[in-house]
Amino acid sequence: MKKLDCFILLWLISTLACSFPVVGQDPAKTLPATPDQVISDLISDNETKSRNAALQIRNSADQNWLPRLGPLLESPQGRSRQIVTMLVLGVYPDKAFDFFSEAALSKSVFAREAAMYGFARVSAPTVVEPLFTGTVDPDDTVRNAALRGLQLICRPNGAQLFTALQTSLESPLTNRHPAEQKLQSQLSDLDFSRYSQQWKSVWQDLVSRETILSIQSRYLDSVKDPSVAAALKKSFESNNSWAAKPLHQKNLNYNFSMVNLVAGSSKEISISATPEEIARTRFLGYDLDRAVQLRLALDLWLQAPHLYTKSAQISDGKLLVEIDLDGSPGLLAGVGLLNISYWQSRVSSGRSGSLAFDAKTGAWLSEDVKDSNAKVVWTAKSSFEKENAGLQPISISIQMPEGQVGAKRYDLEFKAEFTNTSGIHHLTRATMHEKKKDETGDLPPELRALAELTLSTDKPTTE
């Protein structure tokens, strides 16, 4: 659900179209159309008629148009719903919530779906309740629209944020959606007895650090075995410092370089991020402290143990957690930073997994993920420095026998190396190798992509 669907794309196109005057037509020579004709023209396939009708409604801003626009949301034609939604949001912002609230009660799936998209763009805390109601709608289309709407409430402007992070400029983080705080409160207390599976695909894009901690606490209260509960609590505490949207108290400034050896291309990026910018970037699915594209099964589980846990037990000094990955957003590993990546591999075929932790320290040791045929599609292992408690890994190695890069699949091996500088756990180097075979057997892995990161604890001078 990361990418906006065609509904929103066409919506934006329609918005732009209505922002420009009609060329080649003299309003003084045009007879005023009847209200019925205006509505008919508005949803006409004739773009000129549709644009003129939208302009007439916009310029008049007469609220008597609203009762005529409402029934158009029940149309199976997506274009009609897009135009109406755009008009109401742009022309009647103070009436938009009531307008979409009425649509949300319609028997028409199309109207209820449009209402969810409309709510997400109404700048008011009141939209949280109807969006949550939409997540338990009988129709899957409406539920998905409601989940997308909740995502939009949390998502910052990626283009502006990325530019600010790479230019040492102040990021535009002040204009948060007024419903965001209420949304986090609702998520922390949500009853997942209905349609819990659907939340997996969007959960990591919705939750803040505070919500994650609240959910972990609620989950621990539900565990009946005291020894298992204690081990789970230790695993949460040990790994929350580096996984599942950890909070940073210091600025993060570094230079990142990466090379795609196959394509012969390279990229150098400088990052200057405040703690708040780091936290906001995580809502876009990127972790500036990791830098590389890396989403572990561990991350998914830590953020939502109530959604993923199938069982947990202690065996041979280890805490073993079996998880259900069906419906999850998939796992990622690759060389890259923000929305730029080289040899990023996505594994979306995982259906079940097993996490292993040291029962005493809670340190994450490994994870295995299998597909629906019980075939291993992802294996990750960690290593630690012997001198310290070993709670934050100094390296993570991942095996992906059928890692997907673009439309092709490869036998891949990814490794990320980390260190701690002035209390910041961060990446230093990452590699992606491809494994190949010939008639003689296995060949030495071939390096495909490489990344290196140099951290600075000093805030760079603004150019």
| 354-374 confidence digits (pLDDT tens) | 999 999 999 999 999 999 999
What share of the chain in percent tops pLDDT 70? 88
Taking 70 as the threshold, does the pLDDT of residue 277 lie above it? yes
| 396-442 confidence digits (pLDDT tens) | 999 999 999 999 999 999 999 999 888 888 999 999 999 998 878 78
Taking 60 as the threshold, does the pLDDT of residue 459 lie above it? no
- Which band of pLDDT confidence, cut at 50, 70 and 90, is reported for residue 387? low
| 110-166 confidence digits (pLDDT tens) | 999 999 999 999 999 999 999 999 999 999 999 999 999 999 999 988 888 888 888
pLDDT in the model for residue 174: 56
Please state, in angstroms and rounded to a whole number, the distance separating the CA atoms of residues 391 and 395.
Answer: 12
| List of residues 6+ apart from 420 with CB closer than 8 A | 392, 426
Taking 60 as the threshold, does the pLDDT of residue 458 lie above it? no
Please state, in angstroms and rounded to a whole number, the distance separating the CA atoms of residues 304 and 328.
Answer: 11
| 173-190 confidence digits (pLDDT tens) | 657 889 999 999 999 988
Return the top range by mean pLDDT from 1-10, 56-65, 327-336.
327-336
Taking 60 as the threshold, does the pLDDT of residue 25 lie above it? no
Give the amino acid at 386: K
- Which band of pLDDT confidence, cut at 50, 70 and 90, is reported for residue 14? very low
| pLDDT average, residue stretch 291-299 | 96
Phi, psi of 371 (to 5 degrees): -85, -170
Which of 5-9, 159-163, 305-309 bottoms out in mean pLDDT, i.e. has the lowest?
A: 5-9
pLDDT in the model for residue 193: 67
The dihedral through the CA atoms of 307, 310, 315, 320 has a sign that is negative
| 30-59 confidence digits (pLDDT tens) | 545 788 888 888 888 888 888 888 888 988
Please state, in angstroms and rounded to a whole number, the distance separating the CA atoms of residues 244 and 208.
Answer: 10
Per the CB < 8 A criterion, the answer to whether 223 and 313 are in contact is no
What share of the chain in percent tops pLDDT 90? 69
Query: Mean pLDDT of all residues in the chain?
Result: 88
pLDDT in the model for residue 77: 86
pLDDT in the model for residue 282: 94
